[in-house]
């Protein structure tokens, strides 16, 4: 499950000014890569962010798309407590149900069409487990990088059920930001947009776009044309700033469902390693050491030699926490242009 990066050898991802940006008005179509998430019956997710040619769309820095997966075959989702820093996680389901627990004291259920947004800020841990009633699991897990000015905010959790707006040829549920006269009350720390669109066969959604935003269109089902560019299932179309109108046309006979993501360019470089977002190697090393000290043997002490309860653990969680993988040897994680 994408709520945690379960790679045992996670690569450093440097995001920001170095992204290769297409020429103005050009749309780039990003292909997904398959990522197995732990164990012999692991769920596979389709990851479209980050990747070499693009690591950010606004503040959005991580896009995992999974399912529909038959839980009886895949084993469903069972992600034990793990840490995060410097980001927000956005859970959005199309089918199934997930039980969420975190160290800020939140114990909730993630259900289709309901936004669950967790702000890690200075540090949080959480777990995600599909419920016994879940037969088919299908959804996305998204991360948003917090700007430097607010990345050490206190951890928190918000839940929101957006109204369904019905327009000619499509419906829309706006779960973050504002679109088509609908606004989400959920707090973000940079200007963002998140919405689900369901478009009828041959239908078209013509949407006003903020000229300052870059946008991503992730295709869940069907196939679409985004401002004339074909985008297939599980692909992510990147639309650069300066685009005033987004036209999304369903080309598949059964219509299409897409997620629309957008935001002002973050304008910062970040280092993303495992489940941490920081600004330097030293920060990432400190976060890792703090987590290991909280969950590991007594000899596992943080880099500064003092036990710091940065993350905590979800109360009453039956699953043991996930240890952090080792940092790469003889490598300094550092932002680059």
Query: Which segments within 113-208 are labelled E, that is strand?
Result: 115-119, 124-130, 136-145, 156-160, 165-167, 170-176, 178-179, 182-183, 192-199, 204-208
Which domains are seen in the chain, by residue range?
A: 13-18+26-263 (2.60.120.10)
% of the chain surpassing 90 pLDDT = 78
59-94 residue pLDDT tens:
999 999 999 999 998 888 999 999 999 999 999 999
Beta bridge partners of 255: none
Mean local confidence (pLDDT), 151-179: 98
267-279 residue pLDDT tens:
999 999 999 999 9
244-255 residue pLDDT tens:
999 999 987 889
Q: Is residue 44's pLDDT more than 80?
A: yes
Q: Is residue 42's pLDDT more than 90?
A: no
Predicted confidence band of residue 331 (pLDDT cuts 50, 70, 90): confident
Query: Which segments within 200-313 are labelled E, that is strand?
Result: 204-208, 214-221, 224-226, 229-231, 236-239, 245-250, 256-263, 270-273, 276-278
Residue 75 pLDDT: 86
Residue 121's nearest CA partner among 287, 334, 1 is 287
Q: Is residue 178's pLDDT more than 90?
A: yes
Q: What's the predicted TM-score (pTM) here?
A: 0.89
Residue 33's nearest CA partner among 20, 19, 41, 44 is 44
Mean local confidence (pLDDT), 153-166: 97
């Amino acid at each position: 499950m994408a709520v945690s990066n379960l790679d045992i050898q996670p690569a450093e991802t440097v995001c920001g000014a170095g992204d290769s940006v297409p020429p103005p008005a050009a749309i780039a179509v990003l292909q997904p890569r398959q990522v197995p998430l732990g164990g012999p019956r692991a769920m596979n997710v389709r990851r479209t962010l980050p990747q070499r040619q693009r690591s950010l769309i606004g503040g959005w820095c991580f896009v995992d798309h999974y399912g529909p997966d038959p839980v009886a075959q895949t084993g469903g989702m069972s992600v034990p407590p793990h840490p995060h820093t410097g980001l927000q996680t956005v859970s959005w389901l199309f089918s199934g149900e997930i039980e969420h627990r975190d160290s800020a004291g939140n114990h909730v259920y993630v259900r289709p069409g309901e936004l669950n947004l967790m702000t890690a800020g200075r540090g949080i841990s959480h777990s995600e487990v599909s419920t016994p009633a879940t037969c088919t699991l299908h959804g996305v897990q998204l991360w948003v990088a917090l700007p430097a000015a607010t990345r050490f905010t206190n951890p928190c959790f918000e839940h929101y059920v957006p109204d369904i707006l019905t327009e000619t040829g499509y419906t829309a549920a706006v779960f973050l930001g504002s679109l088509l006269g609908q606004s989400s009350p959920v707090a973000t720390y940079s200007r963002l947009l998140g919405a689900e669109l369901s478009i009828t066969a041959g239908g078209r959604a013509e949407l006003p776009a903020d000229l300052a935003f870059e946008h991503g269109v992730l295709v869940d089902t069907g196939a679409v044309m985004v401002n004339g560019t074909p985008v297939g299932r599980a692909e992510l179309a990147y639309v650069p700033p300066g685009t005033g109108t987004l036209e999304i046309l369903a080309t598949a006979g059964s219509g299409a469902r897409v997620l629309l993501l957008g935001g002002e360019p973050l304008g910062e470089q970040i280092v993303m390693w495992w489940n941490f977002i920081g600004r330097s190697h030293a920060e990432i090393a400190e976060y890792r050491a703090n987590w290991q000290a909280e969950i590991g043997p007594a000899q596992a002490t943080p880099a500064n030699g003092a036990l710091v309860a940065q993350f905590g653990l979800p109360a009453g969680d039956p699953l043991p926490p996930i240890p952090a993988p080792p940092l790469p040897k003889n490598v300094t994680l550092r932002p680059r242009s």
